Amino acid sequence: IDIEECLLTTDLGNAVRLAVRAWAREEKLEPYDQATGEGYLRHLFYREGRNTGQVLVVLVTAPGGRFETGYLVDVLRRFPEVRSIHWAINDTPAERTNVPTRLLWGEEAIEEELLGLRFRLRPGAFLQTNTEMAERLYGIVRELAALSGTENVYDLYCGTGTIGLTLARDAGHVWGLEISEEAVACAIENAELNGIENSSFFAGNVGQTLQELAEEAGPADVAVVDPPRAGLAGKALRRTGELQAPRIVYVSCNPTTLASDVKVLRDEYGYELRRCRPVDMFPHTPHVESVSLLAKSSSSAG
């Protein structure tokens, strides 16, 4: 699709995309056709640290080395902000960008800054795409968690540790749980990068390993959950309710599953929904993030 300007990215993002498009035309590289499985170019994956100015680029293609990698690197190095250039091959029909990459030039990762902390971003690491609103989101999480410096905090679906590490300065200890081993490795690295020592991160399925974490970490004073669009669902929801944490801060990207999860936490585990703050993470779309505070109701406190 011949787009001159994408309104979702920055001027720099558009310039990088146009430069790669001109390079691809010069090299006579055909776009991939998902219907026929023919063609070569599949995706250009672009990450920009909005607060650091650092850029990571991944070219995703079908199998085969049909271009001279050094020339692509030369094209992208014209932009001084580009610090990391990768190439990935997707050999499946599915439209996937999160595939193993090969570093062509530069650093393995770039860094972004959120709420005064530095976070290393590799190609496969998750971070909210809207940096400004991510900071607002994490600020609301801190507000609703209302930490005093001594609390035992569980950070479930912790990803690369962004929420947990922004809470660590006000907590006794933060315990993160995440199914992606790559993300957990990033979380540990990010803790070291920021000199945060009161945090621990573990790889595991929340529903299957939360009980094991509780035995290691002790009772939770606050549980922060940031599940995927499907919500907590099934065993993860039950295990979270069974923690009996005095406060749960629920970060949701799907109001429908949030509503069903809150109903279960209210009816079966004695929680009340005290506050819910929407965050417009995706302007000009119907999607919205929200941060909710659930607390044990007075009738269930005993």
Mean pLDDT, consecutive 10-residue stretches, the chain (302 aa), reads 87 98 97 94 95 97 96 98 98 88 96 95 86 95 98 96 97 96 92 98 96 96 96 94 97 96 97 97 89 85 46
* Nearest of 146, 129, 158 to residue 228 by alpha carbon: 158
pLDDT confidence of residue 300: 55
Q: Which of helix, strand or coil describes residue 61?
A: strand
Q: What is the pTM of this model?
A: 0.89
253 tagged catalytic: yes
How many whole angstroms separate alpha carbon 221 and alpha carbon 30?
A: 55
Q: Cβ distance 299 to 270 under 8 Å? A: yes
pLDDT confidence of residue 299: 60
| Partner residues linked to 46 by β-bridges | 57
pLDDT confidence of residue 126: 81
pLDDT confidence of residue 169: 96
Listed in sequence order, the residues at least 6 apart from 143 whose beta carbon sits closer than 8 Å to its beta carbon are none
pLDDT confidence of residue 125: 83
pLDDT confidence of residue 302: 44
Pairing of the two strands 82-89 and 55-61: parallel
At how many degrees (to 10) do helices 255-269 and 234-243 cross?
50
Residue 255, Cβ density class (10 Å: 0-12 exposed, 13-18 middle, ≥19 buried)? middle
First CA to last CA across the chain, in angstroms?
Answer: 61
Catalytic: which of 6, 158, 186, 253? 253
